[in-house]
Chains A and B, each alone.
Chain A
Amino acid sequence: DTGVSQDPRHKITKRGQNVTFRCDPISEHNRLYWYRQTLGQGPEFLTYFQNEAQLEKSRLLSDRFSAERPKGSFSTLEIQRTEQGDSAMYLCASSLTQGTYNEQFFGPGTRLTVL
């Protein structure tokens, strides 16, 4: 266990529904990242926060996706009007900016299936 938790672990939804995922990082970590991993691929970066500020967003993050980290602790990722192409594993990671490597610790992921 890396100390990063995600909820739910699995989500099955119908096309067009909205879904929200939660990530709880390691408590002292000020950076939080979201990645998406589809079958047979490595994780792809979506967005990241430093404290409560969203500093970077990938072009993969369409208008239907929104992420928040309101108090600089946990984060939520919402997908509106889900599409079948949104089916993937959504990974959260956290890191501390102090130090050289800023090692990212990953959560177990939320597997989304859109029917």
Chain B
Amino acid sequence: AQTVTQSQPEMSVQEAETVTLSCTYDTSESDYYLFWYKQPPSRQMILVIRQEAYKQQNATENRFSVNFQKAAKSFSLKISDSQLGDAAMYFCAYRDGGSQGNLIFGKGTKLSVKP
């Protein structure tokens, strides 16, 4: 069974600095997708960034980028120029490419941003 592990329960970053959140996963599939979701306090979970396993190029969305290491099964999220609004729970998630079904989530990392 596929698993997703986030080893950092909490992280803290100074405003305007850069922070990296870690995620590792385990799967025997070759076709899959990886996602980072943001869940602000008492607000809806939203997609931050996504990556297809067959793409070697790391995904980038404005201040958010990933470091996808397929062989190591690692999928870290880098947030540059951190802003106060980035404070939230961040979840790494996995989905099989074929099933188009459910997401498998890690336990999350709580990110605090210090002014």
Contact = CB atoms under 8 A, between A and B. Distances in A.
A103 B46 CA distance: 10
A28 interface: no
B107 A40 contact: yes
Of B4, B45, B47, B107, most A-chain CB atoms within 10 Å: B45
Interface in A12-43: 31, 33, 35, 40-43
B102 A56 contact: yes
A43 B44 contact: no
A1 interface: yes
Contacts of A105: 47
B73 to A, nearest CB: 17
Given A42-B91, A106-B46, A107-B44, A100 B105 contact: no
Contacts of A104: 47, 103
Contacts, number: 56
B33 A55 contact: no
Q: Which applies to chain A's interface (DSSP): helix, strand, loop or mixed?
A: loop
B52 A100 contact: yes
Interface in B89-115: 91, 93, 95, 100-108
Given A43-B91, A103-B50, A1 B103 contact: no
Interface in A38-77: 40-45, 48, 55-56, 58
9 contacts: A35-B102, A40-B107, A42-B107, A45-B102, A48-B101, A56-B102, A101-B52, A106-B44, A108-B43
Interface of A: 1-2, 4, 31, 33, 35, 40-45, 48, 55-56, 58, 91, 97, 100-109
The 4 closest A-B pairs by CB, nearest first: A42-B105, A45-B102, A106-B45, A108-B44
